[in-house]
Every structure is written in structure tokens, then in C-alpha cells.
Copies of this chain bind each other. A is one copy, B any other.
Amino acid sequence: MKTWQEDQLNALHGVKCEHKLFEMMVTLARDFGFDYCAYVLHIPFPLTRPGVKIFNNYPVAWQTRYQVQNYLAVDPTVRHGLRSLLPVIWSDDLFLSSREFWEDARSFGLNVGLAQPCRDENAIGGMLTLARSGEPLSEAELQDKGSKMAWFTQVAHLEMSRILCAKTMPETEVPLSTREIDVLRWTADGKTSSEISDILDISVRTVNFHLGNATVKLNAVNKTAAVVRAALLGMLH
């Protein structure tokens, strides 16, 4: 194992293609002591059918099985990653409610693993899983690698989400005007158009005008959807 340095992470910066980026992550994972590497990206739009992208270098047979059995819906690490930012280590305990899944995974040589979730400024979630067939995780290894893995996850996630956001959600790139942001912010706090017109000292018509423009820019169907998107994407901070 090479010395695992931050330099190697810097190399991830600016990569254009998500597959190329994932290949680099696989190499980093190997240097880090893990044969397998998986990345799950969670784009929370639309909220009722959020997008999930999965990259992994697991055995192809397992990849197929995971999809056929729809294990994504069962996988406790994925559910964990949606609610927490703390790392989890694969264990019998973790897979209590999905024994079948866990046994199935192990039959494909996926014995030892840990997963580190993270978030970015746009409410987009990511989770890096590192795994291997052999050598169990020791306390010493966790001590040494825990924080590095969190950092690896964060850096990889920022790059992945940059690439995939631009590709799948062009509206995140459209800049809102100052007034549009003002009006959305007050709307997010529950003010009506007429209240906002008083606050900003403009007419109700103008408030609705800016709201309408922001709604179009954000590719939303009404102000509620617009304001949720803008808020989650961090445009109102």
C-alpha cells in the first residue's frame, strides 16, 4: 500500500466525466486497502421520486443480483446514509432486519466493509462504501483511516455532484436575480405577496412578477415548488 496522501485526492478535481472520476476513486480505494468501492449519489428532486446514481466495482454477478432483487430498497447502509452523517461498519447488527441480503452479499465475497455518508451545499447526499473479502477491520485500522475516509468521501462527492448536477439538473446553474432571491426568501418564511410588497415597498404585481420569473428559472410549476428547490439548493442562504 502506497502512502495515502491528500495529493491523490487533489487529482480528482476538475475531472469532466463521472465514470472517469469513479475509476480514479477505485484506484484510491485500492491504495487505501480496499478492493471494492461503491458510490451512491442521492439527488432529492423530485422529492417524491428522488434520483439515485450508483457506481461500484463489485463482482458483476452481485451487481446484477442487487438490481434484480431491488436490494437498494432494503440495503440498511443506504437508509443510514439518508438520515445520518456518521460512518457505519458492516456487521450482523447492522443487517439484522435484512439477513437474507447480508448473507447473499457475503456469498459474493463482500465480507468486510464500511460506509461513510456526506452532504453538500445543495442537499445532495453521497455515500462512499469501501469493502474487501479478506482481512477484518481492526480498531487500529479504523483509528488510522476513519478521518481520511470521511475526507475522501467529501472530496469525491463534491466532484461527483458537480458533474452530475450540471448534467441532470441544468436549473441549478441558472442564476437568480437579487430581487428574485429576496422574494423567494420572504416567501419561504411564509409571507404572502401582499405582505412582501409592503416589506420591499413594491407593488403586489411586482412581487408576483419576480416569483413567476423565479419559478420558470427553477423549472418549477408553482411558487411552493420553486421555493423548496431554491432553499434546498442553497440559493437562499
Chain A residues in the interface with B (C-beta under 8 A): 5-7, 42, 44, 46-48, 50, 82-86, 119-121, 123, 125, 142-143, 146-148, 150-152, 154, 158, 185-190, 192, 220-225, 227-228, 231-232, 234, 236-237
Structural contact, A231 and B234, CB atoms closer than 8 A: no
Question: When chains A and B are docked, how far (Å) is the Cα of A82 from the Cα of B234?
Answer: 9
What are 16 A-B contacts with C-beta separation under 8 Å? Answer: A6-B146, A44-B236, A47-B236, A48-B186, A84-B121, A85-B120, A123-B123, A123-B231, A146-B151, A150-B150, A188-B228, A190-B221, A190-B224, A224-B227, A228-B231, A231-B231
CB distance from A178 to the nearest CB of B (A): 14
Number of identical protomers: 2
CB distance from A4 to the nearest CB of B (A): 10
Structural contact, B120 and A189, CB atoms closer than 8 A: no
Which residues of chain B are within 8 angstroms of A142 by Cβ–Cβ distance? Answer: 6
Partner of A232, one of B5, B148, B150, B231: B231
Which residues of chain B are within 8 angstroms of A5 by Cβ–Cβ distance? Answer: 143
Q: Give the residue name and chain of the B residue nearest to A187 (CB).
A: B224
Structural contact, A50 and B231, CB atoms closer than 8 A: no
Which residues of chain B are within 8 angstroms of A234 by Cβ–Cβ distance? Answer: 83
Q: Give the residue name and chain of the B residue nearest to A147 (CB).
A: B151
Structural contact, B158 and A225, CB atoms closer than 8 A: no
CB distance from A192 to the nearest CB of B (A): 8
CB distance from A49 to the nearest CB of B (A): 9
CB distance from A3 to the nearest CB of B (A): 10
Question: When chains A and B are docked, how far (Å) is the Cα of A98 from the Cα of B105?
Answer: 55
Question: When chains A and B are docked, how far (Å) is the Cα of A154 from the Cα of B149?
Answer: 13
Partner of A228, one of B143, B221, B228: B228
Which residues of chain B are within 8 angstroms of A147 by Cβ–Cβ distance? Answer: 6, 147-148, 150-152
Structural contact, B224 and A188, CB atoms closer than 8 A: yes
CB distance from A189 to the nearest CB of B (A): 4
Which residues of chain B are within 8 angstroms of A154 by Cβ–Cβ distance? Answer: 85, 150
Q: Give the residue name and chain of the B residue nearest to A223 (CB).
A: B224
Most buried by B among A46, A221, A228: A228
